[in-house]
Amino acid sequence: MEKVKVGIIGSGNIGCDLLVKVTQSPYLQCSLFMGRNLDSKGMQFAQKMGITVTDKSIQALDENPSLCDIVFDATTASAHAKHFEILKKHGIYSIDLTPSLIGKMCVPVINGKECLKEPDVNMITCGGQATLPIVNAVCNIEKEIDYIEIAASISSNSAGPGTRANIDEFTQTTKLALKNFSNVANTKAIIILNPAEPPIMMHNTIYFSIKNPDMTAIEQTVKETEEKMRHYIKGYRVIKGPVLQNNILIVMVQVKGAGDYLPQYSGNLDIITSSAVKLAEMYAMEKKYGK
């Protein structure tokens, strides 16, 4: 059966990890890998894999739009604004891994289906992808939550120049997403970079300010959510909790990467690329096979 054609813009770590995941997918194939410099590490990597590459970035696709049905944008927020105009013009489904927040915020296990109807979908942040499924699940059970906070610790090695330069966007975007997927007005996101060697795995703690929660129901839904997540991120693990401490419900999640292009400690990058590929697969199934 014919695979759906996918383009990737951005030849950095995220672009390369997406490429590996796309080539492993039974539903997707990478038809164009777009960057600016044929000598870059990422472009060399793609060429060695036998992928069609271009150093004309999105211009190549603008000239020949039938090359792709779906495009992943792994560049920057400001670049995505321009890319989206071109993708929209040609009716190409746009999955945005930058913090631009132009398109609808997407967490595949929560609202993946709704997002298939959108022209442009935003994958929020790594901290968002790791914590929002649990946040959403708990909020579906408990309606009286006053406040939600998440703290994401990632290894310094897995925070590239983009993440470092845009730490404010991470914090603001994750906070906003916590609000959107919980209906709790008061939310907060914290990010910590830890340079320890060997590098730490991505560690996320979710706090809910809550009175008299139904712990049995919460334990059940957290367990189910963990299982759902493991369908596309094998290294997703609830490592502590849910525990209740002075009216604070705590759940801790560790994300170990698949080690496709990036090391296993880069669970923070893996979860956002895995989520993006999961969404692309859902799109491919629906559009091409009507499933």
Partner 1 sequence: MENKKITIFDATLRDGSHAVKHQLDLSTIEAYCKGIDNSGVDAVFVGHGNGLGASSIQIGLSKHTDEEMLTTAKKALVHTPLGIYMIPGFGTIQDQLIPAIEWGADIFKVGAHCTEADVLKEHIEFLKNKDKDVYGVLMSTHMAENNRLLEEAKKIESYGADGIVFMDSAGALLPDKVQDLVRLVKQNTKLKIGYHGHNNLGMAVGNTLVALNAGAEIIDGTLMGFGAGAGNCQIEAIVAILQRMGMAKNINLYQIMDVAENIIEKKLKYTQGIKEVSIISGIAGVFSAFKEKVFEAAKIYDIDPRDIFMELGKRKVVGGQEDMIIDVAINLKQKKKEEAENYMVESLL
Tell me which residues touch partner 1 (CB under 8 A): 147, 149, 151, 153, 156, 161, 164-168, 170-172, 188, 190-196, 200, 203, 205, 207, 209, 239-240, 243, 245, 248, 250, 252
Nearer to partner 1 (CB atom), residue 26 or residue 161 = 161
- At its nearest, how many Å lie between partner 1 and the CB of residue 16? 22
Q: Longest C-alpha distance within the chain, in Å? A: 60
- At its nearest, how many Å lie between partner 1 and the CB of residue 106? 23
Closest CA to 151 of 3, 269, 253: 253
Q: Is the dihedral of CA 94, 97, 98, 102 positive or negative?
A: positive
Q: What is the C-alpha separation between 90 and 85, in angstroms, rounded?
A: 9
What's the token pair of residue 291?
């499933």
Residues with Cβ < 8 Å from 40, sequence gap 6 or more?
11
Residue tagged 């901290």 (tokens): 127
Closest CA to 265 of 253, 254, 275: 254
Q: Which of 30, 115, 126, 139 is catalytic?
A: 126
CA angle 146, 148, 151 (to 5 degrees): 155
- At its nearest, how many Å lie between partner 1 and the CB of residue 208? 9
- 126 in catalytic set: yes
Nearer to partner 1 (CB atom), residue 122 or residue 205 = 205
Nearer to partner 1 (CB atom), residue 179 or residue 288 = 179
Peptide bond into 65 cis (omega under 30): no
Nearer to partner 1 (CB atom), residue 172 or residue 264 = 172
Nearer to partner 1 (CB atom), residue 89 or residue 164 = 164
Q: Is the dihedral of CA 52, 55, 58, 59 positive or negative?
A: negative
- At its nearest, how many Å lie between partner 1 and the CB of residue 136? 19
- At its nearest, how many Å lie between partner 1 and the CB of residue 133? 18
- At its nearest, how many Å lie between partner 1 and the CB of residue 192? 4
Q: What is the C-alpha separation between 159 and 262, in angstroms, rounded?
A: 12
Q: What is the C-alpha separation between 33 and 71, in angstroms, rounded?
A: 10
Q: What is the C-alpha separation between 54 and 65, in angstroms, rounded?
A: 14
Nearer to partner 1 (CB atom), residue 89 or residue 195 = 195
* Spatial contact of 212 and 253, defined as CB atoms under 8 Å apart: no
What's the token pair of residue 226?
């963990």
Active site residues: 126
